[in-house]
Amino acid sequence: MEKGRTVLAFDLGASSGRAVIGELQGEGGSAALSVTEIHRFENVPVQMGERLYWDFPRLLQELKIGFRKAFQSGFRPESFGIDTWGVDFGLLDRNGELLGNPYHYRDNQTDGLIEELCGTYGKERLFAESGLQFMPFNTIYQLHAMKKAGSPKLDQAETLLLMPDLLLYFLTGVKICEFTNATTTQLIHPHTQTWNRELMSELGLPPGMFLEPTHAGTIVGRLTDDVCKELDVPSVEAVAVGTHDTASAVAAVPASGTSFAYLSCGTWSLLGTELAQPTLSAEALACNFTNEGGVGRTYRLLKNIMGLWLLQECKREWDAKGKGHSFPELVRMAAEAPAFRSFIDPDDLRFLHPSGMPDKIRGYCRETGQPVPETEGAIVRCILESLALCYRQTLESVERVSGSTFGGLHMVGGGIQNELLCRFTANALGKPVWAGPVEGSAIGNMLVQLMALGAFRDMAEARACVRNSFALTTYEPEETDRWQAAYTEYRRIVSA
């Protein structure tokens, strides 16, 4: 095994992206990884007419800036990898040109389509043939919306590339479809790990535009000569990492065994466990769980929860009205607000789309007969307590469906910088929370690159490296009686 490996990870979340250098010293599980952020940028969707889009050309340009900054800063990465959110995609024509900006998953074009497709094909069949949680933005519903609208893009498309693969294509010229992100489409068979071409044909979708999945850890190409010339950088190998950011985040969970529970905490909260096989039981369907592909051909049995999007949207609206507060200030105001006054179901679909979040939260509380939070601190407290209680409900369901019992919860991602949420989560669970690392997705991205380069034999060695390299913060549960009472009330409200 070689020493002194350097890799470059591009990690794009729903609200921001970053380019991060990873430097590995040592060998195998005893190695130490250091990370250096070299570029960070906002990821802001664009409303054009009735549709909400990603600003794809700017995102590609930000990645190019990240390459340039890496070499200007004196780093010499051997490889790079890209991870992003799931479900969204771009379409290429026969000349390899992009057919318009990709739609944003929060666009309302898919409203009502879960019910429509379940009515046509049956909820049980769709779950059995995908293992995926029913979320209105899954790729299958986006494609069905385009088909219903008579979009000419589907007629012109030769290739569908999910977002990380689309970015990779314009840097390397290579077209791939990485497995972990492909599973978010709701069009991959969970057992065969191949496309459900029969269902595609029934939906009237052109099956030929879907490339066969490539598994994480595969070296797939290099920066093109044109990109190297444009950026004045040498050629760098490209690795297909766990391109779904949650797959990368779970790869970075510093667990010491194979049975653990995790929460990837950011704009979305994704809570679950890692399994060798998908879980397609009737109870998994009833819980609306998902079986997404993981690194090493594993599966992530988890639940998507609305997450800190609720807080981000409130802050955006308050900022626009001149009531600007930093996130730390809002958290301090929440800590000072009265406890357990009102709760929301974070996954109520009214919270999915942008705009009006504080009023939506007030409306939910009013409709459920609870005190209406009026101040910023009261609203933020309502969000954070509700998320923590939702995490408990979800973890209990994960334990029940998987047949496992977990001694605590690993939290990774940017959301763990919110110490109040971490503390609330431990209190709600009545179990310890182990928080870290913050840059979970970027680190997991790096680990898979390093595995592809031969620095680690397996995920056990890679996770041992994470434990060696990054400090964890442990939050022990407190006030468990009060939180138990709050949990009982929360469940009554969200099940009403």
Residue 222 confidence (pLDDT) above 60: yes
The Cα–Cα gap between 411 and 249 comes to: 10
Residue 224 confidence (pLDDT) above 80: yes
Identify the active-site residue in 83, 245, 345, 347.
245
Kindly state the tokens that stand for 193.
């790990």
Q: Are strands 79-83 and 5-12 parallel, antiparallel or unpaired?
A: parallel
174-207 pLDDT tens trace:
999 999 999 999 999 998 999 999 999 999 999 9
Residue 1 confidence (pLDDT) above 60: no
The Cα–Cα gap between 451 and 445 comes to: 10
Q: Which of 361, 245, 366 lies closest to 294 in space, CA to CA? A: 245
Residue 140 confidence (pLDDT) above 50: yes
| Residue ranges covered by each domain of the chain | 5-85+87-240, 246-436+472-496
pTM over 0.75: yes
Residue 468 confidence (pLDDT) above 70: yes
Residues near 105 by Cβ (< 8 Å), separated by ≥ 6? 85, 87, 88, 137, 142
Tokens 């497709």 sit on residue? 117
User: How much is the pLDDT for 57?
Assistant: 98
207-217 pLDDT tens trace:
999 999 999 99
Tokens 């308050």 sit on residue? 318
Q: Classify domain 246-436+472-496 by CATH architecture.
A: 2-Layer Sandwich (3.30)
- CATH fold for the domain made of 5-85+87-240: Nucleotidyltransferase; domain 5 (3.30.420)
Residue 3 confidence (pLDDT) above 80: no
Domain pair 5-85+87-240 / 246-436+472-496, same fold: yes
Residue 385 confidence (pLDDT) above 60: yes
Mean pLDDT across the stretch 409-415? 97
User: How much is the pLDDT for 321?
Assistant: 94
Find out whether 131 and 178 touch, Cβ atoms under 8 Å. Answer: no
Mean pLDDT across the stretch 132-159? 97
Residue 239 confidence (pLDDT) above 80: yes
Residue 313's pLDDT band (cuts 50, 70, 90): very high
The Cα–Cα gap between 203 and 351 comes to: 29
User: How much is the pLDDT for 28?
Assistant: 86
Mean pLDDT across the stretch 97-115? 97
Instruction: Give the residues across from 7 on adjacent strands.
Output: 22, 79
User: How much is the pLDDT for 2?
Assistant: 45
Instruction: Give the residues across from 425 on adjacent strands.
Output: none
The Cα–Cα gap between 393 and 484 comes to: 12
Identify whether 245 is a catalytic site residue. Answer: yes
